[in-house]
């Protein structure tokens, strides 16, 4: 990939995997390049960047232990010499499995990647891998701050005040604003929507959080990649497009196909 002169550039690889390029640092989120989830849920679109075509990475951010966000097969294909930040309980598990580059980053903690600050906050999501390991249920979101731009990567979450509190403390208190909200969107049938919203954002919820955050732009993810048992890969984005029709901030929502990019300070593609 060519070097970017933009102060913030985001490429949608697929599902919750995004390449964030900010102030010279390249950060990959929740890496998943798998052809399917488990034996029955196929990937419907190839990764927007093939794993062997990724640029040199400076860090990876892991939000929780669910298989669609934590792929061991994908981690095995990625560099082992860059830090992999994860909630402490997940980091300990990965360390025991031999991932020596994992670094625990708990809610409220901050680290730096070059000149970029990354702060973790709790997401509203039970991220346990299996039904019997709820002690492994921690889930995080991350605020990524460069010198002139900042973005929030929310992982998986329901509506939560922790997102806005994080932005208030780290940005608004210093007279800054959030430039880009990277938020998941999901779809649930009417009969399971109330339960779904406890730990996920519907399209409408994501628009609500976008406005609560006061972000300049919103890029949705978690769609167009995998089929699910009760929802198609494109149900959530169709619902979002419906909500955007006539919405007063529709021009600030940038929908990226896999491989598409959005850049601050330059054109999106």
Spatial distance between the Cα atoms of 263 and 118, rounded to a whole number of angstroms: 19
Q: What is the pLDDT of residue 2?
A: 44
Strands of the sheet with 8-14, listed across from one edge = 102-104, 84-86, 59-61, 25-29, 17-22, 8-14, 261-264
Percentage above 70 pLDDT, the chain = 96
pTM for this prediction:
0.95
Q: What is the pLDDT of residue 5?
A: 56
Both structure tokens of 92: 């300990």
Say which residues have a Cβ less than 8 Å from residue 106's Cβ, sequence separation at least 6.
Answer: 87, 88, 120
Q: What is the pLDDT of residue 1?
A: 42
65 in Cβ contact with 90 (< 8 Å): yes
Say which residues have a Cβ less than 8 Å from residue 177's Cβ, sequence separation at least 6.
Answer: 171, 214, 215, 216
Q: What is the pLDDT of residue 134?
A: 86
Q: Is the pLDDT of residue 266 over 80?
A: no
Q: What is the pLDDT of residue 265?
A: 76
Q: Whose CA is closest to 12, among 254, 265, 264? A: 254
Residue that the structure tokens 């232990």 belong to = 65
Q: What is the pLDDT of residue 267?
A: 41
- Average pLDDT of the chain to the nearest whole number: 94
150 in Cβ contact with 176 (< 8 Å): yes
Spatial distance between the Cα atoms of 76 and 80, rounded to a whole number of angstroms: 8
Q: What is the pLDDT of residue 188?
A: 93
Q: What is the pLDDT of residue 13?
A: 98
> Max CA-CA distance within the chain?
51
8 in Cβ contact with 180 (< 8 Å): yes
Q: What is the pLDDT of residue 144?
A: 98
Give residue-wise pLDDT tens across range 92-137: 999 999 999 999 999 999 999 999 999 999 999 999 998 788 889 9
Q: What is the pLDDT of residue 229?
A: 82
Sorted by where each begins, the domain ranges of the chain are: 8-182+256-264
Residue that the structure tokens 């909500």 belong to = 243
Give residue-wise pLDDT tens across range 217-258: 999 999 999 998 889 999 999 999 999 999 999 999 999 999
Q: What is the pLDDT of residue 268?
A: 42
What superfamily would CATH give domain 8-182+256-264? Ribonuclease Z/Hydroxyacylglutathione hydrolase-like (3.60.15.10)
DSSP class of residue 124 equals S
Give residue-wise pLDDT tens across range 132-172: 888 899 999 999 999 999 999 999 999 999 999 999 999 99
186 in Cβ contact with 123 (< 8 Å): no
Both structure tokens of 22: 């900010």
Q: Give strand ranges (E) for the chain.
A: 8-14, 17-22, 25-29, 36-37, 41-42, 59-61, 84-86, 102-104, 110-113, 116-122, 140-145, 150-153, 180-184, 217-221, 261-264
Both structure tokens of 176: 């800054």
Helix axes 161-170, 203-213, angle to 10 degrees: 20
Q: Please, what's the b/e burial string for 216-245 (b: 16 or more CB within 10 A of its CB; e: otherwise)? A: bbbbbbbbbbbeeeebebbbbbebbeebbe
Q: Is the model more confident about 4 or about 206?
A: 206
Give residue-wise pLDDT tens across range 15-68: 999 999 999 999 999 999 999 998 889 999 999 999 999 999 999 999 999 999
Spatial distance between the Cα atoms of 20 and 17, rounded to a whole number of angstroms: 10
Q: Is the model more confident about 266 or about 248?
A: 248
């Amino acid at each position: 990939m060519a070097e970017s002169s933009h102060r913030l550039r985001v490429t949608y690889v697929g599902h919750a995997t995004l390449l964030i390029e900010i102030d010279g640092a390249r950060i990959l989120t929740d890496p998943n390049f798998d052809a399917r989830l488990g034996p029955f849920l196929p990937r419907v679109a190839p990764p927007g960047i093939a794993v062997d075509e990724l640029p040199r990475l400076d860090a990876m951010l892991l939000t929780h232990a669910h298989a669609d966000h934590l792929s061991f097969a994908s981690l095995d294909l990625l560099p082992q010499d860059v830090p992999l930040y994860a909630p402490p309980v997940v980091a300990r598990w990965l360390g025991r499995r031999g991932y020596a580059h994992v670094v625990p980053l708990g809610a409220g903690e901050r680290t730096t990647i070059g000149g970029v600050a990354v702060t973790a906050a709790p997401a509203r999501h039970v991220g346990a891998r299996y039904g019997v390991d709820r002690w492994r249920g921690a889930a995080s979101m991350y605020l990524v701050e460069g010198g002139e731009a900042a973005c929030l990567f929310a992982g998986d979450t329901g509506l939560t005040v922790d997102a806005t509190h994080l932005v208030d403390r780290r940005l608004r208190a210093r007279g800054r604003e959030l430039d880009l909200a990277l938020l998941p969107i999901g779809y649930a049938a009417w009969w399971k929507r109330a339960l779904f919203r406890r730990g996920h954002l519907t399209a409408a919820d994501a628009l609500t959080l976008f406005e609560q955050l006061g972000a300049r732009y919103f890029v949705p993810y978690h769609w167009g990649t995998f089929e699910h048992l009760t929802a198609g890969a494109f149900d959530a984005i169709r619902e979002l497009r419906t909500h955007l029709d006539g919405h007063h901030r529709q021009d600030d929502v940038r929908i990226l196909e896999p491989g598409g990019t959005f850049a601050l300070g330059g054109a999106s593609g």
